[in-house]
Amino acid sequence: MFFRFLNPALLMMLLLASGCEREQRRFDEPTAASAPVDSIRMTPQQPGPMTPVPATKAPYSENAYALNEGKRLYSAYNCEGCHFLGGGGMGPALMDDKWIYGSDPANIFETIVQGRPNGMPSFGAKIPRYQIWQLVSYVRSMSGLAKSDIAPNRNDSMQARPAEAMTKPEHPKQ
Amino acid sequence: MAKGHLVFILALTFISCSKQPQSKHEASGAGSIEGKLTVPAASEDGQWLMAAKDYANTRYSALDQINTGNVANLREAWSFSTGATNGHEAAPLVVGDTMYVVTPFPNMLYALDLKNGGTLKWSYDPKASPAAKGVACCDVVNRGAAYWNGRIYYNTLDDHTVAVDAATGKEIWKTKLGEFTNGESITMAPIVVKDKVLVGNSGGEMGVRGWLTALDAGTGKISWRAYSTGPDKDVLIGPNFKPFYAADRGTDLGVKSWPPDQWKIGGGGVWGWISYDPEANLIYYGTANPGPWNPDIRPGDNKWTCGIFARNPENGEARWFYQWSPHDVHDWDGINEQILLDLDLNGNKRKVLVRCERNGYVYVLDRLTGEVLSATPYVHITTTRGVDLKTGRLQFIAEKAPGTGRIVRDICPFAAGAKDWQPTAFSPKTGLVYIPHNNMCEDAEGTEVSYIAGTPYVGSHVRMYAGPGGNRGVYTAWDPVAAKPVFQIKERFPVWSGTVATAGDVTFYGTMDGWFKAIHARTGQLLWQHKLGSGIIGQPITYKGPDGKQYVAILAGVGGWAGAIVAGGFDPRDATAGLGFVQPMADLPNYTTKGGTLYVFSLP
């Protein structure tokens, strides 16, 4: 009796319900994607005893669809115009291990929202928060800081750089 | 073509560029600048008052103490660190016993005492906004200043023109000309004509609308502005506009040759060189590429981009126009220098301008009418079939035009052209034009692109590589009468520096791997070279010091579009990085590091 209900479609639904974050499509964005980040640190240095900086988990870092959206938005919002496909040119490279303003998702989020004084525009008033988080996860994937089964595999056009999913993870330095 | 005589108009230009400052200077009272900046009356006064040396843009000096026989003894006299680490493209100026140096952003101006080994007299900081660095397409360069009537004039990256007292370093006026938040910047060296400072904007990769602006040299007030796109009244086209070719005649072509409203963000910046013919009372300058690069987005001839205007400097009215590259599809900014010469062509004496154009041809134009007299390839070209001399139109090969989703291979010359901004020199002694230039090709693809004010508007992926032979740079000596090269020197990297020609039959240029070279002006023989602290993309000059000796000066400090990989630390794994110019320069960091230094050389 039980097996009569277990047709392939139902099996699929059960699998999805079991929580495949990678393939999830959201109709409501998670609260974390619209909440402001608490605080970011621009330096590991602090006076007195060290208190660890908790790493922020980006709300979309495990979601392949969101990273692909991030890749599309990266072009649509002209991030590509300055940073190109990660090699930089007007803005700094994003596929290497150098992060002027920090590699933590919260740092990247705030860099996009606030802008930075040496040429990075402030996009906070232009781009919805959940899209900025999608961009954050995509930007991290450009230097291999996303799982290879989550990161984009190819461009739709000229293959001008190794695919994000094939990029060897860099070890960020600040 | 019959080989003819070649007459030069240097006398004309020396009169115009050196005599006028002198008379004005005297009239304004030598006391205010301690009488130090008196300009000698001789036709070759040993000074260097504007980046191009003279209004004809010859970059020729009649000094001949340093010559082919003794240049091998040249040695460093003194040096000066600019403190800046981006690309140093400027020409130093020499006025009396002072040298003036403008740096890339933050656009500092330094006055150095030539009587005292280059000791710093004063420095001036225009306090340019660092945010403007975000709208500079190709490094935060500055191409130099101009001296006029006791003042130094130059432009800042954040869209200001400043007038600084040449004796004291005090700011006299500062005028805002544009909005960097809309993508505009200024990198060009101004020239001063008839008490007007002429300045144009950069930003063809940012969806700006190009213009040339004239400011009153005394007050800094804007006296006129001529846009490169839009209705005739904005372009200052009126009844006296008489272009040679039919394609440039008509009403409001700066609107009609674009899709609706696209001209408002269509580029056509004015970031290159301006020449002036005092006899005809005309200025000549080129307009940059139309935006975005992806040509599918802007069908039409995209006037008045990628062309040359002749204008009356007093009111800016256009007299003629010629379009080098109608509906440009390869980012061939038409802003290179034009050298004004009088040539004897087939027995006819012609007042011409010689233009080594980015699209790969050396043009000789009648500078009074805008007629193309000849257009001869000086590099390997796969993209066009020459210029139709009946219509004046460049014959594009349609299959070589990239477009949305269409990748085209083997585009030669590439986006930076056969020659980019790096200015040529002309020697009346040899009759040759000395051309520092590129030998590179590319693959390109158009992409969709959003216009967001203040951000790039390019719509293109480009992958660049060396042209035939593998040498990315060439230094060519060109005979403009016979329309053929006399000698060519191959260089590993694009020759991104300017050059200077001298009466000693020696020319100078620098390489991106840091060699400053002296060349025999007739044979191309390497006579002397010296390794500098960083790669060279500056403009060499030569002058007579207060001690009566001839000196040669050059700024080292690699960067610019071609050297951005070093100045900006970009990642060559991405073929599109730096508008495509990072990957083909992946080996440059093995040869040089960044850092700006002025070097001055003399004989022992």
Q: Which domains does chain A have, with CATH numbers?
A: 56-174 (1.10.760.10)
Q: What is the pLDDT of residue A39?
A: 73
Among residues B294, B357, B303, which one has the least CA distance to residue B331? B294
Which of A84, A111, A173 is the best residue to mutate to test the B interface, defined by the most B CB atoms within 10 Å of its own CB?
A84
Give me the half-sphere count of Cα atoms (radius 13 Å) on the Cβ side of residue B592: 30
3-state secondary structure (DSSP) of residue B503: coil
Separation in Å, CA of A118 to nearest CA in chain B: 5
Q: What is the pLDDT of residue A9?
A: 62
Chain A hits for B570, CB-CB cut-off 8 Å, are 87-89, 92-93
Q: What is the pLDDT of residue B94?
A: 98
Determine the residue of chain A that is closest to B206 in CA distance. Answer: A81
CA dihedral B163, B140, B435, B60 (to 10 degrees): 20
Q: What is the pLDDT of residue A157?
A: 81
For B66, counting Cβ atoms within 10 Å of its Cβ (0-12 exposed, 13-18 middle, 19+ buried), the class is: buried
Q: What is the pLDDT of residue B96?
A: 97
Task: Please report which confidence band the pLDDT of residue B35 belongs to, taking 50, 70 and 90 as the band edges.
Answer: very low
Location of structure tokens 């006398």? B11
Task: Please report which confidence band the pLDDT of residue B6 belongs to, taking 50, 70 and 90 as the band edges.
Answer: very low
Rounded-to-integer distance, Cα B125 and Cα B136, Å = 19
Nearest Cβ partner of A117 from B131, B452, B574?
A: B131
The amino acid at B316: G
Location of structure tokens 């800016």? B316
Rounded-to-integer distance, Cα B538 and Cα B103, Å = 11
Nearest Cβ partner of B574 from A77, A91, A161?
A: A161
Contact between B290 and B298 (Cβ < 8 Å): yes
For A50, counting Cβ atoms within 10 Å of its Cβ (0-12 exposed, 13-18 middle, 19+ buried), the class is: exposed
- A105 has a chain B CB within 8 A of its CB: no
Q: What are phi and psi of B518, to 5 degrees?
A: -110, 130
Interface of A with B in 12-71 (CB under 8 A): none
Q: What is the pLDDT of residue A50?
A: 83
Nearest Cβ partner of A90 from B137, B405, B450?
A: B137
Task: Please report which confidence band the pLDDT of residue B24 belongs to, taking 50, 70 and 90 as the band edges.
Answer: very low
Task: Please report which confidence band the pLDDT of residue B250 belongs to, taking 50, 70 and 90 as the band edges.
Answer: very high
Separation in Å, CA of A50 to nearest CA in chain B: 32
Contact B574 A157 (CB under 8 A): no
Q: What is the pLDDT of residue B217?
A: 98
Task: Count CB atoms within 10 A of the CB of residue A5.
Answer: 8
Q: Out of B41-50, B165-174, B314-323, B582-591, which region has the weakest mean confidence (pLDDT)?
A: B41-50
- A100 has a chain B CB within 8 A of its CB: no
Separation in Å, CA of A120 to nearest CA in chain B: 6
Q: What is the pLDDT of residue A44?
A: 80
Contact B582 A88 (CB under 8 A): yes
The amino acid at B352: V
Contact A91 B136 (CB under 8 A): no
Q: What is the pLDDT of residue A11?
A: 58
pLDDT tens readout for residues B302-348: 999 999 999 999 999 999 999 999 999 999 999 999 999 999 988 88
Separation in Å, CA of B131 to nearest CA in chain A: 4
pLDDT tens readout for residues B509-561: 999 999 999 999 999 999 999 999 999 999 999 999 999 999 999 999 999 99
- B140 has a chain A CB within 8 A of its CB: no
For A25, counting Cβ atoms within 10 Å of its Cβ (0-12 exposed, 13-18 middle, 19+ buried), the class is: exposed
**Whether pLDDT at B432 is above 90:** yes
- Strands of the sheet containing B93-95, edge to edge, are B93-95, B98-102, B109-113, B119-124
Contact A160 B456 (CB under 8 A): no
Global pTM?
0.92
- A127 has a chain B CB within 8 A of its CB: no
Rounded-to-integer distance, Cα B419 and Cα B435, Å = 8
Chain B hits for A117, CB-CB cut-off 8 Å, are 130-131
Rounded-to-integer distance, Cα B526 and Cα B522, Å = 11
- B456 has a chain A CB within 8 A of its CB: yes
**Whether pLDDT at B481 is above 70:** yes
Rounded-to-integer distance, Cα B126 and Cα B109, Å = 8
Q: What is the pLDDT of residue A154?
A: 84
Q: What is the pLDDT of residue A14?
A: 52
Q: How many contacts (CB atoms, under 8 Å) link A and B?
A: 120
Contact B573 A157 (CB under 8 A): no
Q: What is the pLDDT of residue A7?
A: 64
Location of structure tokens 């070759």? B44
pLDDT, mean over chain B: 93
Contact A92 B569 (CB under 8 A): yes
- A87 has a chain B CB within 8 A of its CB: yes
Average pLDDT value for residue range B263-276:
98
Tokens in use for B74? 């040249």
Determine the residue of chain B that is closest to A76 in CA distance. Answer: B450
Q: DSSP label at B219? A: T
Tokens in use for B34? 């301690």
Contact between A155 and B168 (Cβ < 8 Å): no
Element at B79 (helix H, strand E): strand B75-81
**Whether pLDDT at B29 is above 90:** no
Contact A84 B574 (CB under 8 A): yes
Contact B574 A95 (CB under 8 A): yes
**Whether pLDDT at B31 is above 50:** no
Contact between B500 and B63 (Cβ < 8 Å): no
The amino acid at B6: L
Contact A89 B579 (CB under 8 A): yes
- A125 has a chain B CB within 8 A of its CB: no
3-state secondary structure (DSSP) of residue B441: strand
Phi-psi group of A70: left, alpha or beta (phi > 0 → left; psi -120 to 50 → alpha; rest → beta): alpha
Contact A82 B455 (CB under 8 A): yes
Contact B455 A158 (CB under 8 A): no
Sites in chain A below the pLDDT cut of 50: 1-2, 18
- B457 has a chain A CB within 8 A of its CB: yes
Task: Please report which confidence band the pLDDT of residue B420 belongs to, taking 50, 70 and 90 as the band edges.
Answer: very high
Among residues B265, B182, B181, which one has the least CA distance to residue B230? B265
Question: B361-366 and B372-377: which strand pairing?
Answer: antiparallel
Separation in Å, CA of B407 to nearest CA in chain A: 7
Q: What is the pLDDT of residue A36?
A: 62
Chain A hits for B205, CB-CB cut-off 8 Å, are 81
Active-site residue list of B: 205, 289, 331
Determine the residue of chain A that is closest to B454 in CA distance. Answer: A121
pLDDT tens readout for residues B152-210: 999 999 999 999 999 999 999 999 999 999 999 999 999 999 999 999 999 999 999 99
Separation in Å, CA of B574 to nearest CA in chain A: 5
Contact A160 B461 (CB under 8 A): yes
Chain B hits for A99, CB-CB cut-off 8 Å, are none
Contact A119 B131 (CB under 8 A): yes
Q: Which residues neighbour B344 within 8 Å (Cβ) at sequence distance 6 or greater?
A: B4, B5, B6, B7, B350, B481
The DSSP secondary structure of B516-575, one letter per residue, reads EEEEETTT--EEEEEE-SS---S--EEEE-TTS-EEEEEEE---HHHHHHHHH---TTST
Q: Which residues neighbour B4 within 8 Å (Cβ) at sequence distance 6 or greater?
A: B343, B344, B345, B346, B347, B481
Contact between B453 and B183 (Cβ < 8 Å): yes
Contact between B5 and B138 (Cβ < 8 Å): no
**Whether pLDDT at B567 is above 50:** yes
Among residues A116, A118, A96, which one has the least CA distance to residue A169? A96
Going from the C-alpha of A135 to that of each of A68, A129, B483, B516, the distances in angstroms are 9, 10, 54, 45
Rounded-to-integer distance, Cα B342 and Cα B367, Å = 10
Predicted-complex ipTM score: 0.91
Q: Which residues neighbour A45 within 8 Å (Cβ) at sequence distance 6 or greater?
A: none
Determine the residue of chain B that is closest to A93 in CA distance. Answer: B570
Looking at chain A, the number of H-run helices and the number of E-run strands are 6, 0
Q: Which residues, listed in sequence order, are joined to residue B408 by a DSSP beta bridge?
A: B444
